[in-house]
Structure 1
């Protein structure tokens, strides 16, 4: 009897929130179509690009449907899309905590489910399992669609791989934040038991975690350092490198900020002798650190999600088992 009961509870959950699920599915399809459509437009425009010989000089077509227009639209899609995807975990946490769980307690309808030979823990587990599957599949699909649109404009203004939003939207860390959101919602909902306060609290907790981890992520992997003599040409990093800090080296091994000379002479190449500058340095993250940081942060977020889920079940069992 346990298997049919579990399936029935899951079916009731899906049917109860079918409007929200259909809306989420529509938005998912629309976002995927927009991102892949703009990417297809850019690829097609690139293939059709041609140059007209005008007075012995070549001018490439840049009309409203040309390649440059497609690239600009792709860049805007990448910028606004990455910002929008940051909201997905917040919305997931708010929905799980509020309409999915807290509203059941607030209205008392959760007791009706228990009359169908379903234990409180089984009811709660099914709710979170359904939410976790939906959020996992949805965020994974969005990440794949975003990467399709982002690849041609990677590294342009505000679309570098370490930029906030782009980093989350292009890797598994966004999926991990989605699962964390489900766990946080499952923890907050039964504690607060009122829809709107639970939604606000769950969104705030999830957003705070995302903000804190995002500010710390580039400290988990040690930076690489490039050095060179002074005076000489400025240090040259690979175009895809993420510069963390740069400046001058002194004879005693100390470091000075990159504007140390400018503050004294208003000339970056003219440094006073008393500064005793002997070289330059640049601390940076190569692109190889992208996946390392993604995996480290994903692991941290999944651990936090597991802790939140464990706490949610312990509290729920203590109150309702």
Structure 2
């Protein structure tokens, strides 16, 4: 990363952490190269398999090995996509660790921040540079990685090993949520570094904070956007669950409209009919998020993450003012 156009604290930050910033900037290029290479290879394998006349659904004599080889290649591509998704889930934690430890806490722990502050650089300007430089690199890198993962999943040729949009490795690796998590953890890492002023401690607390944040949002994600509800007859229905949707809740509905849980009537067909009659159950219901809810859920969750990040930044500057004026 060039420092020619940078001045003051921003240039110092880039110079101090050149290696880490270069790795973060180069990561999208490496991931894109891997994903494109994997897609080209599996696409070639798919074309070659189609030319053999064999079919996965209706395997004929002499096609056993060919089908197995084809499915092995599809499985391999699925693993590549899974590893890329896992990388996207871990990246925000590494971003927070980097800012909490090497960028903030290490300088406060060693006292080297005093050098910058003694050269007409205010504490607020010092912190702003510490946040702005990694934030720009993170925003660009994670956005590119998210777009690359979305492109690869749309063209990954994993028909027989699909992962739906609501799978954590998929949902957390594409769209705006990865960017939101990365920027939020950058802010939380800075706050941890300023509060704790110990490199290792700040890094450990940041990791714990990331885990708590992920678990909390996973627990409430399905309620971030209103679900759709389908109601159908309790017996003798031909209802089909929408393709690509995720089931949130399901159960029974009485004639008065009261909802009962799924375990209200669970037994054999004869007992089931009696149970439905005894409890005045006439219909079943299912609450779900269709595939079209992907973006609303993503945007709401991203908004929450950015709001938390903004709050952490505000608290970080407040801590800095109270301790150093």
CA distance 1:228–1:80, change in 2 (3 Å) = same
1:89 aligns with 2:92: yes
1:148 aligns with 2:151: yes
Output the CA distance in 2 between the equivalents of 1:274 and 1:42. Answer: 56
Q: Normalised by the size of structure 2, how large is the TM-score?
A: 0.86
Output the CA distance in 1 between the equivalents of 2:210 and 2:281. Answer: 46
CA distance 1:44–1:8, change in 2 (3 Å) = farther
Partner of 1:281: helix, strand, or coil? strand
Cα deviation, 1:232-264, whole Å, max 9, x if unaligned, reads 1352122111111222222232233334433x4
Instruction: State how 1:54-93 maps to structure 2 within 5 Å.
Output: 59=63, 61-62=66-67, 64=69, 66=70, 68-93=71-96
Q: Which residue of 1 aligns with 2:175?
A: 171
Q: Which residue of 2 aligns with 1:121?
A: 124
Q: Which residue of 2 aligns with 1:221?
A: 225
Output the CA distance in 2 between the equivalents of 1:109 and 1:235. Answer: 67
CA contact (8 A) 1:136 1:175 kept: yes
Q: Which residue of 1 aligns with 2:281?
A: 277
- Gaps (5+ residues) in structure 2? none
Instruction: State how 1:1-321 maps to structure 2 within 5 Å.
Output: 7-48=7-48, 49-52=50-53, 59=63, 61-62=66-67, 64=69, 66=70, 68-152=71-155, 159-233=163-237, 235-262=239-266, 264-265=267-268, 272=275, 273-321=277-325
CA distance 1:53–1:126, change in 2 (3 Å) = closer
Deviates more, 1:161-170 or 1:285-294: 161-170
CA distance 1:242–1:128, change in 2 (3 Å) = same
CA distance 1:260–1:79, change in 2 (3 Å) = farther
Output the CA distance in 2 between the equivalents of 1:129 and 1:53. Answer: 55
CA RMSD of aligned residues (A): 2.9
Equivalenced residues, count:
315
Cα deviation, 1:123-152, whole Å, max 9, x if unaligned, reads 111111001111111211210111122224
CA distance 1:63–1:164, change in 2 (3 Å) = closer
- Gaps (5+ residues) in structure 1? none
Output the CA distance in 1 between the equivalents of 2:191 and 2:132. Answer: 14
